[in-house]
């Protein structure tokens, strides 16, 4: 079967090359049939890649260890969910996923634009086919996911335990969907530049794809943060790690892009800026992939150097150079007709928000690549840590949230003094009230920056609330509907606008959670024996007793042994139990001994979190198995030749020994206020983005009527 998979990839590569060539030929010579053939070749490529993925997935499900990928990333005892998702835990598998998503997205956009954009779409087809060809070439030439092993092992190595978390398995496909999604507006922008059709047509055709890509990328980043918080045993959600930064940078520039294209649609301005942004977004998405794959920067994710870093760098070089030449050669077509009328207008605020977003991206870029920059300038490798990022990013983030409150309610072109007063009187009053309440009743003043963020959140929420209430009230007057119906109608008829408001509200809520949890969390690290107590934040915590289990870890990750603890937390009247534990996965290293290998392999924290709207209580445990070591060593020599059943009994005895005579264990407990609002904010953003993306009834109606009109025209012309 592996042969068929490899053949699929090879044929897909040929199809991509054909699609690119025939589309270019068709548009140059005006041959419509060639253009159609190019488009259909993309559908064909998608079908081939779906086939290849199906072959690989079935190998994972059947645990066919003659596939190198399966032997390295799965095992018979890996739970089915993780077998299905193990594909993208490896480099070759991720490349296949990239190419698969790329071909599906390309097919979708080309299908939707098959009757429009005749001048641009063929070039876009060629660009998309070119990108797909690059990924296929990487797989065929260097990282073939269908590599087979001549002597398949009896058992696979299993999926890296750290990756056994539901969020972690959904996170990579989400990020890829985001990265790949931005390839669509990129390809159409390039097409528009080549064809010198630099109006807003390419934007209208791909706007929804940009929004979808933005949403997926954002959700991917959120899930990554959630994974970090609830799986990694350190208790944070963001560490300014190079790979986190790599996914944030295209998202920031993508955010700038989806704002500034509105200015081009409405006012015909910022054309150069928009094409530059979409090119930058795509290049940053490639760069993100490159960063992870090349291992040039030290990070927790740099799992050893890779073979395809150089190829990525060359491809990025080609994309950057080609795009730059194209933009410069089309500068005359990109000049704006309109000018900025006033600094107090929506477009001016969009521009300001763009500059802040790009500034943020520049800061993060500099910090991420600082080790390379420093080595080039001073010959010494040095790096900047999270405090540096926090210091520079925080003020920019504050400005950004402030802009997101003001911008959307300003009218295009310019605003009158009376207009400003009408829009901001109530929100400013609400913000002032919030400030007074916070100062009077909480200790928020201890962190001035957080206090500013709380007030800005209040400002954003009240502006959005006011807009929604005013809109619904106006609708009620016109239609006489009841409030809920008026509200639903209002949103349904202005999806982009109110979806956008909701996204702003969600982002503000998210920042509320970030500000509160980063400034006011209290963390405690202790090492205690059962029966002892300690204090963490507002909680009194007691280590009640140790737990130890075989073959039944709570998260269902397939870990044979897990040691844990039962803690009780008391805060005033409330009291509850926490069950943090630590899973131990067997080592493949024979030197650790037949019994020892079950204790000396990888171990991962299974964090327990008491989620709450007001505060989270987060707990992780690190059992000290040092005291078991003499017994393990003894068992290694004594039972080296015993059969599996006896060895299992010995392991069970060791586990019981830990439970009955537990040594002191290390705990980390964090009392973190409002941290849940980060995830709630993310959910609000998702809801808002979905509303904005969903086609509104009017556009569907318009599309249907235009199709009917076209058919009628055809009939009439025949007659």
Partner 1 sequence: MDPRRKRKLRLFVALSAAVLLAGALIYTSFSASTQASTPSDLLASAEPGRSYELTGKVVSDSVDKRGERLTFEIRDRDGTAKVPVTYEGVVPDPFREGREVIVSGTLEKGKFVAERDSLITKCPSKFTKDDKST
Span 649-688, contacts to partner 1 by CB under 8 A: 664, 666, 668
Cβ nearer to partner 1, comparing 167 with 438? 167
Segments in 1-120 forming alpha helices (H): 2-29, 32-62, 68-73, 80-85, 91-112
Per-position x/- string for 26-45, each x denoting binding to partner 1 as judged by CB under 8 A, each - no binding: --------------------
Using an 8 Å Cβ cutoff, are 59 and 70 in contact?
yes
Report the distance separating Cα 356 and Cα 256, nearest Å: 9
Cβ nearer to partner 1, comparing 392 with 486? 392
Q: How far is the CB of 369 from partner 1 (least distance, A)?
A: 10
Q: How far is the CB of 569 from partner 1 (least distance, A)?
A: 20
Using an 8 Å Cβ cutoff, are 168 and 227 in contact?
yes
Q: How far is the CB of 263 from partner 1 (least distance, A)?
A: 16
Strand 522-528: give its sheet, edge to edge.
522-528, 665-673, 615-622, 608-610
Report the distance separating Cα 457 and Cα 695, nearest Å: 29
Question: Binding segment for partner 1 among 20-28, 89-97, 309-317, 325-333 (CB under 8 A)?
Answer: 89-97
Among 181, 185, 224, 499, binds partner 1 (CB under 8 A): 224
Give, as ranges, the residues between 351 and 390 that touch partner 1 (CB under 8 A): 355, 359, 362-363, 366-367, 370-371, 374, 380-385, 387-388
Using an 8 Å Cβ cutoff, are 69 and 90 in contact?
yes
Determine how many CB atoms are found less than 10 A away from the CB of residue 73: 26
Determine how many CB atoms are found less than 10 A away from the CB of residue 113: 20
Per-position x/- string for 540-559, each x denoting binding to partner 1 as judged by CB under 8 A, each - no binding: --------------------
Among 107, 160, 457, 581, binds partner 1 (CB under 8 A): 160
Tell which residue, 269, 95, 261, has the closest CA to residue 186. Answer: 261
Tell which residue, 75, 49, 39, has the closest CA to residue 60. Answer: 75
Using an 8 Å Cβ cutoff, are 260 and 277 in contact?
yes
Q: Token pair of 481, please? A: 């509907």
Cβ nearer to partner 1, comparing 130 with 371? 371
Q: How far is the CB of 553 from partner 1 (least distance, A)?
A: 14
Assign residue 593 a region (left: φ > 0; alpha: ψ between -120 and 50; beta: otherwise). left
Per-position x/- string for 48-87, each x denoting binding to partner 1 as judged by CB under 8 A, each - no binding: ------------------------xx--------------
Cβ nearer to partner 1, comparing 2 with 232? 232
Question: Binding segment for partner 1 among 110-118, 156-164, 276-284, 540-548 (CB under 8 A)?
Answer: 156-164
Segments in 547-643 forming alpha helices (H): 597-600, 629-638
Report residue 25: phi and psi, to 5°: -60, -45
Q: How far is the CB of 179 from partner 1 (least distance, A)?
A: 8
Question: How many residues form the binding site for partner 1 (CB under 8 A)?
Answer: 72
Tell which residue, 253, 215, 707, has the closest CA to residue 506. Answer: 215
Q: How far is the CB of 391 from partner 1 (least distance, A)?
A: 7
Cβ nearer to partner 1, comparing 24 with 217? 217
Cβ nearer to partner 1, comparing 246 with 619? 246
Cβ nearer to partner 1, comparing 467 with 671? 671
Among 34, 136, 162, 252, binds partner 1 (CB under 8 A): 162
Cβ nearer to partner 1, comparing 85 with 466? 85
Q: How far is the CB of 370 from partner 1 (least distance, A)?
A: 6
**Element (DSSP H or E) covering residue 672:** strand 665-673
Question: For residues 479, 485, 487 and 488, what is the CA-based torsion angle, rounded to 10 degrees?
Answer: -120
Cβ nearer to partner 1, comparing 339 with 417? 339
Give, as ranges, the residues between 175 and 214 that touch partner 1 (CB under 8 A): 175-176, 179
Among 14, 21, 77, 233, binds partner 1 (CB under 8 A): 233
Give, as ranges, the residues between 95 and 134 that touch partner 1 (CB under 8 A): none
Among 622, 628, 662, 684, binds partner 1 (CB under 8 A): 622
DSSP string, 89-117: GSHHHHHHHHHHHHHHHHHHHHHHTTTS-
Per-position x/- string for 284-303, each x denoting binding to partner 1 as judged by CB under 8 A, each - no binding: ----xx-xxx----xxxxxx
Q: How far is the CB of 474 from partner 1 (least distance, A)?
A: 36
Among 104, 109, 246, 490, binds partner 1 (CB under 8 A): 246
Beta bridge partners of 353: none
Cβ nearer to partner 1, comparing 320 with 384? 384
- 703, burial (CB in 10 Å: exposed 0-12, middle 13-18, buried 19+): exposed
Q: How far is the CB of 304 from partner 1 (least distance, A)?
A: 4
Among 1, 119, 157, 519, binds partner 1 (CB under 8 A): 157
Report the distance separating Cα 71 and Cα 67, nearest Å: 6
Question: Binding segment for partner 1 among 56-64, 76-84, 271-279, 599-607 (CB under 8 A)?
Answer: 599-607
List of residues 6+ apart from 68 with CB closer than 8 A: 147, 148, 149
Tell which residue, 221, 208, 370, 372, has the closest CA to residue 285. Answer: 221
Beta bridge partners of 669: 524, 619
What separation in angstroms does the CA of 217 have from each of 101, 175, 251, 646? 13, 5, 7, 50
Question: Binding segment for partner 1 among 6-14, 88-96, 188-196, 330-338 (CB under 8 A)?
Answer: 88-96
Using an 8 Å Cβ cutoff, are 592 and 600 in contact?
yes
Q: Token pair of 604, please? A: 């991962």
Determine how many CB atoms are found less than 10 A away from the CB of residue 687: 15
Q: How far is the CB of 684 from partner 1 (least distance, A)?
A: 24
Q: How far is the CB of 445 from partner 1 (least distance, A)?
A: 26
Question: Binding segment for partner 1 among 424-432, 456-464, 466-474, 603-611 (CB under 8 A)?
Answer: 603-611
Using an 8 Å Cβ cutoff, are 578 and 544 in contact?
no
Tell which residue, 288, 287, 291, has the closest CA to residue 303. Answer: 291
Give, as ranges, the residues between 562 and 591 that touch partner 1 (CB under 8 A): 588
Give, as ranges, the residues between 517 and 536 that touch partner 1 (CB under 8 A): 525, 527
Among 177, 306, 431, 450, binds partner 1 (CB under 8 A): 306
- Beta 574-578 vs 522-528: how paired, if at all? unpaired
Cβ nearer to partner 1, comparing 226 with 684? 226
Among 75, 106, 247, 354, binds partner 1 (CB under 8 A): 247
Q: How far is the CB of 258 from partner 1 (least distance, A)?
A: 21
Cβ nearer to partner 1, comparing 475 with 622? 622
Report the distance separating Cα 293 and Cα 291, nearest Å: 6
Cβ nearer to partner 1, comparing 524 with 642? 524
Q: Token pair of 655, please? A: 């586990």
Interface with partner 1 includes 234 (CB under 8 A)?
A: yes
- Beta 574-578 vs 665-673: how paired, if at all? unpaired
- 470, burial (CB in 10 Å: exposed 0-12, middle 13-18, buried 19+): middle
């Amino acid at each position: 079967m592996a042969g068929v998979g490899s053949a699929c990839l090879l044929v897909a590569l040929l199809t991509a090359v054909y699609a690119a060539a025939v589309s270019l030929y068709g548009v140059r010579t005006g041959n419509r049939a060639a253009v159609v053939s190019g488009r259909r070749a993309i559908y064909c490529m998608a079908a081939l890649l779906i086939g290849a993925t199906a072959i690989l997935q079935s190998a994972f499900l059947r645990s066919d260890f003659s596939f190198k990928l399966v032997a390295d990333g799965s095992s018979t005892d890996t739970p089915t969910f993780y077998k299905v998702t193990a594909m993208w835990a490896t480099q070759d598998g991720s490349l296949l996923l990239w190419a698969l998503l790329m071909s599906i997205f390309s097919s979708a956009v080309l299908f939707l634009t098959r009757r429009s954009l005749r001048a641009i779409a063929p070039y876009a087809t060629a660009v998309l086919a070119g990108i797909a060809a690059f990924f296929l070439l990487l797989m065929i030439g260097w990282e073939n996911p269908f590599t087979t092993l001549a002597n398949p092992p009896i058992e696979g190595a299993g999926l890296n335990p750290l990756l056994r978390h539901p969020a972690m398995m959904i996170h990579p496909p989400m990020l890829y969907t985001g990265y790949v999604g931005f390839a669509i507006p990129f390809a159409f922008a390039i097409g528009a530049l080549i064809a010198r059709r630099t109006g807003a047509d390419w934007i209208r055709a791909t706007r929804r794809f940009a929004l979808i890509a933005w949403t997926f990328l954002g959700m991917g980043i959120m899930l990554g943060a959630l994974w970090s918080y609830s799986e990694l045993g350190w208790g944070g959600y963001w560490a300014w790690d190079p790979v986190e930064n790599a996914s944030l940078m295209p998202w920031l520039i993508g955010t700038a892009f989806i704002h500034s294209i509105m200015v081009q649609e409405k006012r015909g301005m910022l054309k150069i800026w928009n094409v530059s942004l979409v090119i930058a977004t795509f290049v940053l998405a490639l760069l993100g992939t490159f960063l992870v794959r090349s291992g040039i920067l030290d990070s927790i994710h740099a799992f050893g150097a890779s073979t395809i870093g150089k190829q990525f760098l060359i491809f990025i070089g080609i994309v950057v150079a080609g795009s730059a030449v194209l933009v410069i050669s089309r500068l005359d077509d990109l000049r704006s007709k309109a000018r900025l009328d006033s600094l107090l207008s929506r477009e001016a605020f969009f521009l300001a928000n763009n500059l802040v977003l790009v500034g943020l991206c520049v800061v993060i870029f500099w910090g991420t690549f600082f080790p390379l920059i420093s080595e080039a300038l001073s010959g010494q490798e040095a790096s900047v840590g999270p405090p540096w990022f926090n210091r520079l990013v925080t003020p920019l983030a504050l400005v950004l949230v402030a802009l997101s409150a003001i911008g959307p309610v300003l009218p295009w072109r310019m605003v009158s003094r009376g207009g400003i007063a009408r829009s901001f009187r109530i929100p400013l009053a609400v913000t002032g009230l919030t400030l007074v309440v916070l100062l009077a009743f909480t200790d928020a003043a201890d962190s001035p920056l957080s206090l500013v963020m709380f007030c800005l959140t209040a400002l954003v929420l009240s502006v959005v609330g006011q807009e929604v209430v005013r809109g619904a009230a106006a609708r009620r007057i016109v239609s006489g509907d009841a409030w809920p119906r008026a509200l639903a109608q209002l949103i349904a008829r202005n999806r982009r606008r109110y979806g956008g408001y909701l996204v702003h509200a969600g982002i503000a809520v998210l920042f509320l959670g970030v500000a509160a949890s980063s400034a006011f969390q209290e963390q405690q690290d202790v090492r205690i024996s059962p029966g002892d107590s300690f204090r963490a934040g507002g909680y009194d915590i007691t280590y009640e007793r140790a737990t130890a289990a075989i073959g039944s870890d709570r998260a269902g990750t397939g870990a044979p042994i897990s040691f844990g603890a039962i803690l009780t937390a008391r805060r005033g009247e409330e009291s509850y139990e926490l069950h943090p534990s630590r899973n131990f996965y067997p080592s493949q290293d024979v030197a650790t001994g037949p019994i020892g290998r079950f204790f000396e392999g990888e171990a991962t924290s299974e964090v327990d979190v008491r989620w709450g709207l007001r505060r989270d209580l987060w707990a992780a445990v690190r059992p000290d198995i040092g005291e078991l070591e003499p017994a393990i060593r003894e068992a290694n020599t004594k039972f080296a030749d015993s059969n599996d059943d006896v060895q299992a009994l010995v392991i069970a005895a060791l586990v019981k020994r830990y439970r009955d005579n537990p040594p002191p264990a290390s705990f980390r407990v964090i009392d973190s206020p409002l941290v849940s609002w980060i995830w709630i904010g993310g959910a609000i953003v998702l809801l808002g983005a979905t509303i904005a993306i969903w086609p509104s009834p009017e556009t569907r109606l318009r599309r249907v009527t235009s199709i009917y009109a076209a058919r009628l025209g055809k009939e009439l012309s025949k007659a």
